Structure 1
């Protein structure tokens, strides 16, 4: 059986590349974005009652998957990239149908220039992600306290993140200009250590990622007990796109 679906909206995200996106929703509460509803779904009637919800389920399409072909077994980052599991036991984007599901915080509705936007936070969505459906999160049924996932049973261990004085100053300037806590956003992203887990930290190597409004650069340095911490060395504002 084949089905055809129409996108009801497009996500405008702080994440413009896949590297650095949190591996699960909610891990970076400061990661904000907007869901722009598309015609004919941009009717205020479709949102009546949504103001009573704090969180939403978004069903979306992985529109830029790492490969055009799905795989029966994948190597999830949680297992360090060295072990494989069946695709249906993971949340890998390399699926028979490239559909994802995320719980996001709903921060309200904005209407401007004849368009309707849903304000979201705690997102793990790439800029331009097509959304197929929105459903309210219902705590009494969606929260399952006794649920188990033995290979991902506990939250990840957070890495230590520190900022150089120059990076802190750049974050303050961005916060003043854009009205978002940039130091918190970068810290929440990097404390998950976006480096591929099979790749050992190299103090000589410089890492970087591109967010919508800034380039972020960091390095690793040895810490206590053989651990490494991430040192943010530079946060460089990006020029807004022309036109």
Structure 2
């Protein structure tokens, strides 16, 4: 069989890539966002469609799927361009692998793929909104397309995970006596604990014992410190609300 050859000049007739919507997420900034979907099951968000794509007909039948693939853009790092090799956090930030052997944000086209849980479709005056769970997307992430997850074709228990064969080790998270933490909605508390258990610190930051970090999570600023295998929440401070409720 002979394969087609020749240069492609960046256009497919009739195809234009543009956001169909934007994610409103419980993660207010890059720091603290899980590095993979599903690792923080209590995380939540919404997909709010652009006016052009708010027709209810476009979502007909989507309620029958429990999970969706989102094709999105790494909008906070797109201007940094791409790198042929990257340092994955799973390798401690000390070993380089090819960008195409990673899920790094520094990609030629700045596109990401995330598998999220569909928790519902909510009809609102401005159009239908998708309610999502287990996501790993920062607030404001543009989404370019949605595809339903098909277990019979895409659940592959025999697949190999390369240099990331298993889930990351989790820290123990404590919030003893922290004013304001218990006052948060239950889902917000769970999401914060799950996100911090994944140790959001960059590899270099883990070499500074005792350093206090801050992450925008669930509409508040969470101050924490990691001591060995324990992450201690030190304070929960008011931050700009994301517009969502846990």
TM-score normalized by structure 2? 0.88
Return the match for 1:105 from 106, 111, 117: 117
> Is 2:105 the partner of 1:93?
yes
1:88-115 deviations in whole A, cap 9, x for unaligned?
0000010010000000000011122222
The aligned counterpart of 2:34 is 22
The aligned counterpart of 1:144 is 156
In 1, Cα distance between equivalents of 2:52 and 2:36: 30
> Is 2:228 the partner of 1:218?
no
1:173 Cα offset (Å): 1.7
1:228 Cα offset (Å): 2.8
Any conservation in 2 of the 1:34–1:117 contact (CA below 8 Å)? yes
> Is 2:206 the partner of 1:194?
no
1:151 Cα offset (Å): 0.4
In 1, Cα distance between equivalents of 2:41 and 2:229: 24
The aligned counterpart of 2:184 is 174
The aligned counterpart of 1:224 is none
The aligned counterpart of 1:68 is 80
- Structural RMSD (CA): 1.6
Return the match for 1:114 from 126, 142, 152: 126
Return the match for 1:43 from 55, 68, 74: 55
SS at match of 1:187: helix
> Aligned pair in 2 of structure 1 residues 133, 80: CA closer, same or farther (>3 Å)?
same
Q: How many residues align?
A: 230
In 2, Cα distance between equivalents of 1:164 and 1:201: 25
1:25-60 deviations in whole A, cap 9, x for unaligned?
010011100001112211111111111110000001
1:237 Cα offset (Å): 2.6
In 2, Cα distance between equivalents of 1:54 and 1:130: 21
Any conservation in 2 of the 1:201–1:228 contact (CA below 8 Å)? no
In 2, Cα distance between equivalents of 1:181 and 1:212: 9
